[in-house]
Amino acid sequence: MAKYTVALITYFDILGFQALIAERSPSHIKTVLESLHQESRPDDELARLYAMKYFNFSDHVVRVTDLLARGNITTPTGLLFHEVLSIVHMQAHLAAEGVFIRGSLTVGEIYTGHGLIFGAGLNRAHELENRVAKYPRIVIDPIALKIFSTTPALKAEWHTHKEELAYLRRSMRTGQDGVRFVDYLTSMGDEIDEPADYAKFRTSFRRIGSSTKKLGVYSRSTTGCDSITILWSIGCGALSSLLTV
């Protein structure tokens, strides 16, 4: 008998993929989709550890982590934090290659079995991606944060919800439109320790700046800082030392 489970759901696709199909060669599109697949698919060990399932069709990706799986209940390791951090690295690596994704992160009921995927949680994720995200960002559903505050499986067992939320906030930002999203630009700067790696990071994000201009996804900061703000105004914080135009 088919039953829904409650899961952490990440849903996204490539921004501007239709234009890519119209303008670029099949070989280029194949390379883009291979990069998407490589960066977004969890490795087999993580998939087993966190009871994750991965679905990919064309440029659409859905990652599903079963919150009711026995291991996630008995030994919670911080599922929401790990998924957000995974998104940070995924977006940064893809953006450095000129591939920008748009989507959502939510919690809801979903069925995944026998090659099928459906449920209210998937519908919610699609709605957020289609109507709310708008720009190359992964929005975080307020429902996910509300459920996080009362769900032990979503945090590490050695943290309180307050402590875990403090870590999560380092990788989140609220846009001018009031929508909270994964702040991969600033977060990747925090992830890098070695000077040589930081230099590569600067070079990659200068390329991101160039790519976003070509996409028309660029604006000036309202505070006068001439940094890349990627339309939803990430502001003049950590990025101002990385990118200037």
The confidence score (pLDDT) of residue 98 equals: 85
68: CATH: 3.30.70.1230
Q: Which domain holds residue 28?
A: 5-207
Asked, for residue 102, whether it belongs to a domain, the answer is yes
Q: Residue 34 — φ and ψ, nearest 5°? A: -65, -40
| Cα atoms found within 13 Å of the Cα of residue 52, Cβ hemisphere only | 23
| Cα–Cα distance for residue pair 220/229, rounded to 1 Å | 7
Asked, for residue 240, whether it belongs to a domain, the answer is no
Asked, for residue 230, whether it belongs to a domain, the answer is no
The total of structural domains in the chain comes to: 1
The confidence score (pLDDT) of residue 205 equals: 62
The confidence score (pLDDT) of residue 198 equals: 60
Asked, for residue 59, whether it belongs to a domain, the answer is yes
Asked, for residue 70, whether it belongs to a domain, the answer is yes
Q: Residue 236 — φ and ψ, nearest 5°? A: -110, 25
The confidence score (pLDDT) of residue 225 equals: 28
Asked, for residue 20, whether it belongs to a domain, the answer is yes
The confidence score (pLDDT) of residue 56 equals: 96
The confidence score (pLDDT) of residue 203 equals: 66
pTM for the full model? Answer: 0.83
The confidence score (pLDDT) of residue 189 equals: 72
Asked, for residue 219, whether it belongs to a domain, the answer is no
pLDDT along the chain (245 residues), means of 10: 96 94 95 95 91 96 96 92 94 88 97 96 98 94 94 90 91 93 85 63 60 43 34 38 40
> And the tokens for 63?
């990652």
Provide DSSP, the chain.
----EEEEEEEEEETTHHHHHHHS-HHHHHHHHHHHHHHHSPPHHHHHHHTEEEEEETTEEEEEEETTSHHHHHS-B-HHHHHHHHHHHHHHHHHHTT--EEEEEEEEEEEEETTEEESHHHHHHHHIIIIII-SSSEEE-HHHHHHHTT-GGGSBTTS-HHHHHHHHHTTEEE-TTS-EEE-HHHHHHHH--SHHHHHHHHHHHHHHHHHHHHHT-----TTS--S--TTTT--SSGGGGT---
The confidence score (pLDDT) of residue 190 equals: 72
Asked, for residue 98, whether it belongs to a domain, the answer is yes
